[in-house]
Amino acid sequence: EVQLVESGGGLVQPGGSLRLSCAASGFTFSSYWMSWVRQAPGKGLEWVANIKQDGSEKHYVDSVKGRFTISRDNAKNSLYLQMNSLRADDTAVYYCARGLPWELPNQYFHHWGQGTLVTVSS
Amino acid sequence: DFVMTQSPDSLAVSLGERATINCKSSQSVLYISNNKNYLAWYQQKPGQPPKLLIYWASTRESGVPDRFSGSGSGTDFTLTISSLQAEDVAVYYCQQYYSTPFTFGPGTKVDIK
């Protein structure tokens, strides 16, 4: 069974940093693109970033470029999101989502974690 | 960036009746070389992550009831629930994956009338 378990969320002050983790199991992690998708309280879904199987290619939504960094450790079956210079509008539930096992970055998401809440507030 | 819009914002349908949700993309999501529409649909219930229903605009995900169907091409798409069940109460989102940044529609809330 595919499982994605996020951790690392919490309360952080504006301008602060946080590192999210996603532990993957039940599939060959190194074969899949992985993404982070967020959802502000009571709002819709926003794709944040994705990373290729070997980490050689990454894409970001403009609003997080230069502030967030996606990475992965295939030996540990883990996905990460380093978030710096956090702002109030980064407050959201952050979901880890499994993409597809192909070359192209085009991704829809068969599997999602339960999410971890990040609150940016003073 | 591709802007996705959905209509209506919300709808209430009687049990057993049809529910229709529309999704429109600001640019075509049809990739000519493979004739595939890079459009997915998700269902999200309160307190849960989204669940994939449809991809390639009309391919039903494994395990999804056949009362859910997707149609459309280019810029205009439809998700149809042929006979609404109580467990279908949720918010439904479309998503384009033609290019990054992938973008979602704002969601359509479906309730029972």
Residue from the list A44, A59, A105 with its beta carbon closest to the beta carbon of B106: A44
| Contact across the interface for B98 and A106, Cβ inside 8 Å | yes
Partner-chain residue, chosen from B38, B61, B102, that has the shortest CB–CB distance to A47: B102
- pLDDT of A14 strictly over 90: yes
Mutation site, B100, B103, B104, B109, interface A, largest A CB count within 10 A: B100
Q: What pLDDT score does A22 carry? A: 98
Q: What is the arithmetic mean of pLDDT over A75-91?
A: 98
Stretches in chain B below the pLDDT threshold 50 = none
**Is there a contact between B104 and A44 if contact means CB atoms under 8 Å apart?**
yes
What residue ranges in chain A does DSSP mark as E strands?
3-7, 10-12, 18-25, 34-39, 45-51, 58-60, 68-73, 78-83, 92-98, 111-112, 116-120
- Give A50's contacts in chain B (Cβ within 8 Å): 100, 102
Mean model confidence pLDDT for chain A: 97
Which pLDDT value is given to residue A102? 87
CA–CA dist B43, B84 (Å, integer): 14
pLDDT in the model for residue A72:
98
A34-82 pLDDT, tens digit per residue, is 999 999 999 999 999 999 999 999 999 999 999 999 999 999 999 999 9
The percent of residues in chain A predicted with pLDDT above 70, rounded, is 100
pLDDT of residue A79: 98
Q: What is the pLDDT of residue B40?
A: 98
Q: Chain B within 8 Å of A115 (Cβ-Cβ)?
A: yes
Q: Is pLDDT of A103 > 90?
A: no
The pLDDT assigned to B17 comes to 98
**Preferred mutation among A45, A46, A64, A110 to probe B, highest tally of B CBs within 10 A:** A45
Q: Which two structure tokens, joined as six digits, stand for B66?
A: 């056949």
Question: Nearest CA to CA, how far is A15 from chain B (Å)?
Answer: 24
Distance CA A72, CA A84 (A): 17
Q: In which band, very low, low, confident or very high, does the pLDDT at A105 lie, cut at 50, 70 and 90?
A: confident
Residues of A with Cβ-Cβ distance to B101 under 8 angstroms: 47, 59-62
Question: Across the strands, what pairs with B77?
Answer: B23, B72
How far are the Cα atoms of A85, A116, A122, B2, B97 from residue B104, in angstroms, in the given order? 25, 20, 30, 9, 9
